[in-house]
Amino acid sequence: MPVIQIKTRDGHSLQAYTAGSASAARGLVVLQEIFGVNAHMRQVCDTFAAQGYAVVCPALFDRVQRDVELGYEPEDIVRGRALRERIALADTLADIEAAAGALPVGAQLGVVGYCWGGTLAWQAICQTKRFAAASCWYGAGIADALNQVPHGPVQMHFGETDRSIPPSAIQAIRQAQPSVDIYVYPQAGHGFGCEARADYEPASAALAQQRTLAFFSKHLVRTGA
């Protein structure tokens, strides 16, 4: 398994799954759900790598417990949420910046995240200057941080029937961030992009992925291009 160790500015060492070419002109930090860097997240990374990206997916739970790979049963959700609550946002952002530093020098960098990672992708584009663009998939915490200022273009993907992200929250984000491209997928629930979840909706997942790839192709421009 292509796993590396990376070190943060505060001296923390964490694992990260990597995929793609070390000489790629575009790089992505992929941010996990609350289920760890499990088989689904590794598949997401491999899919982006197949499109020519260098990819790093940091194990954000390493701050409190290493080698976490959860499934999608109710008890996994409870465990994942408990682990997430034990990690300060500032520490997680340090991990994300370290992951960005592990991507090829000179590559144009984007960040994409799912579930918890969708919220973190928003935080990363707003609170750091490491990324040229961000794609945020069903980030339930974005509405709690909707007045931040992103340092690059952002797109967001939400499911119309997501019980954790009501239409009122999406509308509030639209009003606060009129420059953000926001897509809502009919009949799609939370986690619609994950083939292992009950809410998986393949048509919506495929369209969101197509939009994400087009977005990064547009905004992650080669240096000197």
Catalytic residue list: 115, 162, 190
Closest CA to 129 of 145, 117, 111, 142: 111
Burial class, 116, CB count within 10 angstroms (exposed 0-12 / middle 13-18 / buried 19+):
buried
Residue 56 near residue 16, CB atoms below 8 Å: yes
Q: How many CA atoms lie within 13 A of 144 on its CB side?
A: 10
